[in-house]
Structure 1
C-alpha cells in the first residue's frame, strides 16, 4: 500500500530528477520515444492476465467461491425437517426485540435456539437480498458459551443471547474488512471493533457481517467482491448506504437489531429507504475504535455510530446500554461519560419545533416533502408550536461539506479504487473522481447554467493544505452560526427530510451525490439526529413527481435523475429526520417518540401479513 501511495504523491522525487543536468542521470540520455514505448508496454502488461487487476479478479473469484461454500455449509448444518423445531424458530423470529430479550431472560428459549433461528432466517434473507458478507462461524460456539455461563442464573447480562448483525466496515477478528475491494481480500482482522466488544460484554452474540458499498462513500450498496444488495420492499431498488446490508437485513427481519456508522447519512439513508428507525449521536457521545470510518484523517464531519431498530422504544432500550456506560468508557476513554438519561426521553411537554420541507439547495421529491408536511400538521394538532427554519448560507454549507468529505481532494478514494475491479454501478463515479481538478473547475462554469448543484460538486475541491485549513476554519465558524440561528428561533428540535429521494434503482445513487446534503448537513455541524418512518409513498405522490407544476425539473439533470429514480414508488417507506443540539440525544428520541405516536407506519413488507414463511 505504501508503495502505491508514494507513486501517487506530488512527484517530489521526479521533480528533483528532471531539474538536474542530463549527465547526472544516465536514463535521461535516451530519446523521449523510448520512454513512451516503455509506458505503453507497462500499460499492456497491466491489462494482461498477469496484471494487478486480473490478479485481484482471481482473488475475488476465490473468495466468492469460499463464501458461497460457507453459506451452504451453514444451511446444511441448520437444516431440519422437524416441525416442532421449525415452528419454534418461526416463533423466535416473529418476536419484537424487547419480547425476545425478555424471553431469553426468562429462559423461554436458549441462546443456542435463538442463534440458530436467526442464522437460518438471515440466510433465507441473503438468498433474496444478498445482504451478507459473511456468517461468523464462531458465533455458534459463543451462543453455546452464553448458555453454559448464564443458564439458570437470575442475574443475566441485559442482552443475554440476543443475536445482532455487524456492518462490514467494523473489525471482527479473523474476518476481512475489505470494503468490497479486491486489494483487501483475504486480509483478516486481528482486532475487534469496540462497539462489537461492548455488545458481547452485554451478552449479545454477533452472528453475521453485512454488505457495504465498495469503498463506503456511496449509497449504492454494491461491490465487485459481494455483488449488489437489494431493498426488501422492492428488490429492483437499493437499500441505501453505506450501512445498506444492515438496513436490508434488519428490515427483512433477519436480525433483531443491526449496528452501523454514519459519516454523511450512512445510518439515516438506509433507514429512510428500508423503513427503519435510527439515531446518529454527537460524535463525542459515542466514540468507536477498530472500524473503518470511510475517510481516515477526515475533516470536520462528525462520525456517529448507532443502531437499526423497528421503533424508537427499541432505540432507547439499546442506547441506554451504550451511551456513557462505565464498561464502555473504560474500553474507550475518549468516549463521553455522559450517562443516558432515560427519563428525558418521555413525552412530557409541548415543544417549539423548527421545520423545513426543502433545505433551499436541492428540493426533495414530492413524497418526502409531503411526509414532512403531514408530520408538521400532526405536531401542530398535538399542541406543539411549529416554526419555519431556513438553513443558513446553505450553498456555503454544501461546499464545506463536500470538501470535508474529501479533505485530500479525493486522493485517498482514488487510491482505494486504483488497480482494482470497480463495481459496475460505481464506474461512472470513479471516472468523474479521476478527472483532473482543472477540467472539473472549467466544466463547472458551463454546468452552472443547468445545474448549480452539479457545478458546486465539480468546482468545490481542496487543492492545497491552505484550502484544508481554511475549510476547517469555515466549518467551525458555520457550526457556531448554525447554533446561534437555532437559539435565536428558540426551538427545541428540528423536523426535516431524512434524504432527498426514496429508494431508487441501482444505477442512480452514484449520479445523485448532491442528495447527500440532506443528511450530511448534520454531520457537518455534528448535531444528533434520528430518522423514523412515518408513512408510505402514495399513488398521489407518484402522480405528483411527474407533474412539472409540482416538481419542476427544467433542464437540471440532477432533478431529472431524482424524478426518474423515484417514479412508481407507491408503497415504499417514507421517513422524517429529527435533529437536536449537540449532546441532546435523549431530547431527539423524545421528539421521535412523539412523532411515532402521531403517525401510522405498520413496518410490514409488501405481501407480509400475519403469516410467516417457514424457516
Structure 2
C-alpha cells in the first residue's frame, strides 16, 4: 500500500473483506444503540440452537475439554457454536478483526477424525476454540494491529505461541480488536473502529486487549490470549467480568508476534490468558509450559509447570494466608464500587480464616514515572514509522468519531523527545533499584503478619474506576506498577456497579488535581451494571501461586455470597 491510495479507501476494502467473511445465515438483527446491556442477546436472538447455547454457556474450560476428550461433544460442533456466538458478539460490540470460518472448522474436523482414529486427544487443549488478540501471526492471514499500513501484509509462518497451541490441539478461530499503537487502556483504531463493553455499550471494553475482553464477556470464546505491558490483559478482563493473568516476562513465548515499540526490552509486553473461569487460565498456562517454549523462543525461560508452587507448598499449603490490600495508590482514590469490592473481598477472606492487612503504595508514583519515561523514550518515532506508508492519522484520543482525526500525538502516555542511550541506561538502573527496594519492602512485612512469613500476596484495584465512558479511560497506574516490577497478577470479578448502593461519597481530602478530577467525574448512573474486578499480585515468576491465590479468593467470595442467601 502507498500514499497514492488514500488510507480511507484501504480501510474500506479491508472492512468489506471482513464483512464478506461472515456467513450470511449468521447475521442477526441487533438491538438499537439505546440498548446498553446486550449480554442476553445471544440467548434471545434465535441464531443458536439449544445445544449450541449449552456448549457456549459451559464456562468451565476443564468441563469443555473433558467433553471434547470423551467425544461427547465434537470439536466441529463446539467450534461452530463458539464461532456463531463470536459473530453475534461482533454485531453487538465490534470485537473481531480476522474471521476465517472455513479454516477453523476444517481444523476442528481434522481433530475429530484424529480422535476417532487413534482414541487419543491431540494434546491438552484438544478441540478447544481459542481466540487471539490481533498481534499473533497466523500463516496466510493479516495481522494489522490497528494500523492501516499493515493491511495486506500476510504472515509467512505462525507465531511461536500459535505453533504451541496447534501442537496442544487447540483451534484458533478468530482474532480480536486492539487500539492503534496498543498503548491505550481502551480499544479503537481506524481500521476496525471501536469495541464496546457488552454490559454497558456506553462504556469502554478496556484495552489494549479490549476485543478479547468484550468477546469473552459475551461468551463468544471459552479462552482467549491477550497481551499486557501496562494492564492490557487485566483492564479488559476486569471491565468485562473475567479472569485474566499477566505472567512475568518469559513464561509465555512472544517470538513471531507483532508489537509496537519493538526493541524496548526493559519493561516488556507479555502474553497471557483471559477466560470466564480460572480453569481456563490454569489449563492455558499448563499447556504452554508443556509445549517447552524455551526451545522455540530464545527469550522464553525454562519453566515447566510447578505443581508444588500451585499447591502453595512454600506458603503453608494455603491454609492460612496473609494478603496485603491496597486501598489507593497515593495518587487517585478509587470510585465507590472499587472500594466496595475491596471491602467485600477483605470480609470474605477473613471469614475463610485468612489475614488481611493494609499494604502501603511504596514509591508507586516514582516507579510509574520511571516506567512511563522508558515506554515513551522513542515511541513517537515508532508510531510515525508505522503510519508513514499510508499517511494514516496517529490517534491522540479514544473519543473521536470515525471522521475525526488529528496528526499530532498526545496519548495518555505522551511521547517524549528521544533520549540518549546513556539517559535510557540511567532509567533502567533506576528501575532495577526500585525493584530491589520493593522486594526488601515485601520481605520486611514478616513483622506485620501473623503467619511467620511476609505477606503472601497483594490485592489491589485494577483501575480507580469500573470501565469508563469512551475516551475517558486515561490511566493504567494500578496495573502498570506490576509490569514495572515484573510481578505476575491475576484479575478476579467481584461485583457490578449498583447506582443505588454505589452512591457518590462526600469529597475526601484530595491527593492532587488528578484525584479531584477523578472524583468529580464519577456518576453512578453512567456506570450502571459495569463489572467490578480486582487483581491479586504475587512474587516475581510465581504464576502458579498467583493462580492458586486467585482460586482461594474466588472460593472465599463464592462462600461469602452463599452465606448471605
TM-score by length of 1: 0.78
User: 2:296 is matched with which residue?
Assistant: 331
The superposition leaves residues 246-303 of structure 1 with CA deviations (integer Å, 9 ceiling, x where unpaired) of 1111110101111111111110000110010011111022232111233211242142
* Structure showing greater Rg: 1
Q: Decide which of 192, 195, 198 is 1:226's aligned counterpart.
A: 192
The superposition leaves residues 512-539 of structure 1 with CA deviations (integer Å, 9 ceiling, x where unpaired) of 1xx2111011000101111110112223
Asked if 1:579 corresponds to 2:534, the answer is no
Q: Decide which of 201, 204, 224 is 1:238's aligned counterpart.
A: 204
User: 1:207 is matched with which residue?
Assistant: 173
TM-aligned CA deviation for residue 229 of structure 1? 0.9
Asked if 1:524 corresponds to 2:484, the answer is yes
User: 1:589 is matched with which residue?
Assistant: 547
User: 1:402-441 alignment to 2 at 5 Å?
Assistant: 402-408=372-378, 410-417=380-387, 419-422=391-394, 425-426=397-398, 434=409
What SS does structure 1 have at the residue aligned with 2:105?
helix
Asked if 1:106 corresponds to 2:70, the answer is yes
User: 1:92-171 alignment to 2 at 5 Å?
Assistant: 92-96=55-59, 97-136=61-100, 137-156=102-121, 157-171=123-137
**In structure 2, what is the Cα distance between the partners aligned to 1:426 and 1:538?**
26
Q: Is the 8 A contact 1:403 1:462 kept in 2?
A: no
User: 2:20 is matched with which residue?
Assistant: 69
Asked if 1:55 corresponds to 2:6, the answer is yes
The superposition leaves residues 101-148 of structure 1 with CA deviations (integer Å, 9 ceiling, x where unpaired) of 111111112221222111111111111111110212411221121122
Deviates more, 1:201-210 or 1:412-421: 412-421
**In structure 1, what is the Cα distance between the partners aligned to 2:491 and 2:284?**
16
What SS does structure 1 have at the residue aligned with 2:6?
helix
User: 1:400 is matched with which residue?
Assistant: 370
The structure-2 alpha-carbon separation of the partners of 1:127 and 1:421, relative to structure 1 and needing over 3 Å to count, comes to: same
Deviates more, 1:559-568 or 1:198-207: 559-568
Deviates more, 1:314-323 or 1:493-502: 314-323
> How many residues are treated as equivalent by the alignment?
522
Q: Is the 8 A contact 1:288 1:332 kept in 2?
A: yes
Q: Is the 8 A contact 1:399 1:460 kept in 2?
A: no
TM-aligned CA deviation for residue 553 of structure 1? 8.9
The structure-2 alpha-carbon separation of the partners of 1:602 and 1:263, relative to structure 1 and needing over 3 Å to count, comes to: farther
The structure-2 alpha-carbon separation of the partners of 1:458 and 1:116, relative to structure 1 and needing over 3 Å to count, comes to: closer
**In structure 2, what is the Cα distance between the partners aligned to 1:466 and 1:494?**
34
User: 1:13 is matched with which residue?
Assistant: none
The structure-2 alpha-carbon separation of the partners of 1:550 and 1:85, relative to structure 1 and needing over 3 Å to count, comes to: closer
**In structure 1, what is the Cα distance between the partners aligned to 2:476 and 2:520?**
13
**In structure 2, what is the Cα distance between the partners aligned to 1:601 and 1:245?**
31
User: 1:370 is matched with which residue?
Assistant: 340
The structure-2 alpha-carbon separation of the partners of 1:88 and 1:561, relative to structure 1 and needing over 3 Å to count, comes to: same
**In structure 2, what is the Cα distance between the partners aligned to 1:507 and 1:85?**
34
**In structure 2, what is the Cα distance between the partners aligned to 1:601 and 1:294?**
43
**In structure 2, what is the Cα distance between the partners aligned to 1:265 and 1:577?**
11
The structure-2 alpha-carbon separation of the partners of 1:114 and 1:500, relative to structure 1 and needing over 3 Å to count, comes to: same
TM-aligned CA deviation for residue 93 of structure 1? 1.6
Deviates more, 1:247-256 or 1:559-568: 559-568
Q: Decide which of 22, 41, 52 is 1:89's aligned counterpart.
A: 52
Q: Is the 8 A contact 1:504 1:565 kept in 2?
A: no
Q: Is the 8 A contact 1:345 1:586 kept in 2?
A: yes
Q: Is the 8 A contact 2:228 2:270 kept in 1?
A: yes
**In structure 1, what is the Cα distance between the partners aligned to 2:22 and 2:13?**
15
Q: Decide which of 434, 437, 447 is 1:481's aligned counterpart.
A: 437
TM-aligned CA deviation for residue 389 of structure 1? 1.6
The structure-2 alpha-carbon separation of the partners of 1:393 and 1:131, relative to structure 1 and needing over 3 Å to count, comes to: same
Q: Is the 8 A contact 2:462 2:535 kept in 1?
A: yes
CA RMSD of aligned residues (A): 3.0
What SS does structure 2 have at the residue aligned with 1:539?
coil
Q: Is the 8 A contact 2:492 2:533 kept in 1?
A: yes
TM-aligned CA deviation for residue 601 of structure 1? 11
Q: Decide which of 411, 414, 422 is 1:466's aligned counterpart.
A: 422
The structure-2 alpha-carbon separation of the partners of 1:413 and 1:542, relative to structure 1 and needing over 3 Å to count, comes to: farther
TM-score by length of 2: 0.85
User: 1:530-545 alignment to 2 at 5 Å?
Assistant: 530-540=490-500, 542-544=502-504
**In structure 1, what is the Cα distance between the partners aligned to 2:557 and 2:233?**
21
What SS does structure 1 have at the residue aligned with 2:227?
strand
What SS does structure 1 have at the residue aligned with 2:125?
coil
TM-aligned CA deviation for residue 155 of structure 1? 2.3
**In structure 1, what is the Cα distance between the partners aligned to 2:559 and 2:201?**
20
**In structure 2, what is the Cα distance between the partners aligned to 1:228 and 1:117?**
25
Asked if 1:283 corresponds to 2:249, the answer is yes
TM-aligned CA deviation for residue 476 of structure 1? 0.9
Asked if 1:193 corresponds to 2:149, the answer is no
Unaligned runs of 5+ residues in structure 1 are: 2-50, 77-82, 441-453, 604-615
Q: Is the 8 A contact 1:282 1:302 kept in 2?
A: no
Q: Is the 8 A contact 2:326 2:359 kept in 1?
A: yes
**In structure 2, what is the Cα distance between the partners aligned to 1:557 and 1:53?**
47
Deviates more, 1:354-363 or 1:152-161: 152-161
**In structure 2, what is the Cα distance between the partners aligned to 1:53 and 1:555?**
46
**In structure 1, what is the Cα distance between the partners aligned to 2:528 and 2:559?**
14
Q: Decide which of 348, 354, 375 is 2:324's aligned counterpart.
A: 354
